[in-house]
Amino acid sequence: MLEREKNFEYIVEQKDMGMRLDQFLVRKHPDITRSFLQKQIKEGKVLLNHMPAKAGNRLNLKDCVTITLEPPQELSVEAEDIPLDILFEDNDILVINKPKQMVVHPAPGHSSGTVVNAVLHHCKGSLSGINGVLRPGIVHRIDQDTTGVIVICKNDYSHNFIAAQLKEHTITRTYHAIVHNHVKKEEGTIESTLARHPVDRKKMAMNVKGGKNAVTHYKVLDPLNKKFTYIACNLETGRTHQIRVHMASIGNPILGDTLYGPAKCPYRLIGQTLHAKTLGFIHPSTKKYVEFDAPLPEYFLKLLRQLKG
């Protein structure tokens, strides 16, 4: 478990004069998010000259800043000895190829058998503890029925470093999919906002109030036949159900998608044919670009051969 001392005290130096209190603390604690530090300030766990402070307070020379940080709480999830398909591992990150039907995070109805349960056992305490809770390094996720590559962070610095790249949309994320119907353009871009569907809460919807910007670039890899097309999608953003909603919006829903696809399909029981093929980012320690590729699962390959045949 990641331990932190309870109390930290800092004396403001000349180079920090005029800085906001929350910015100062982010500089002193780069492994903690700014939003969490602002929460600590609001809860009175940060003192400026021994008095409660505000996040926007400007610092003066020789000001005394004190912060109290509790050790991160244990996650109430059991570690389970579940085999992982490991693509890469070092002291900072663990990259795995997630199989179909495996949930990333525990949730109602899925309290065990998840990526989190497996990672807790595999890493045995060496995981990020962002925002005061020992979350097992999950910096991004993919749907239960989506297969492919995801990265798990083993420490807070790596978690924040990769999360920042996700926020800036500088991470390479390429998905392969089989979609219904002929794709009219060889390649194209779909841009919209995405938010929870106002009526069906299981779905996401385009261009509704409160939506976040979403951009998907797609390219035809193989036309297969008149009924199905094999494509690649590159994500600029990573919104929930992004590829599924975007491809359905142009008349090419993902084959096997029970939420956005047609109700009747001869291959429906095979499952969703969406695979996170490639993930690339700047490594938190080496500061060099790394890229990981997850091979297509056997059921996906078999279906491609069948449709092409």
By annotation, the residues acting in catalysis are: 143
Distance CA 137, CA 122 (A): 12
Tokens representing residue 27 in the block: 């500089």
Those residues whose C-beta lies under 8 Å from the C-beta of residue 30, and which sit 6 or more positions away, are: 157, 160
Tokens representing residue 48 in the block: 């400026």
Beta strands 204-206 and 187-196: pairing type? antiparallel
Tokens representing residue 257 in the block: 């998608």
Tokens representing residue 102 in the block: 């495996």
Distance CA 266, CA 131 (A): 46
Distance CA 143, CA 105 (A): 10
Tokens representing residue 69 in the block: 């940080």
Q: For 207-240, b where at least 16 C-beta lie within 10 A, e where not — what string?
A: eeeebeebbbbbebeeebeeebbbbbbbbbeebe
Q: What are the start-end ranges of the E strands in 57-164?
A: 64-68, 86-89, 93-98, 147-153
Q: Are the beta carbons of 163 and 171 closer than 8 angstroms? A: no
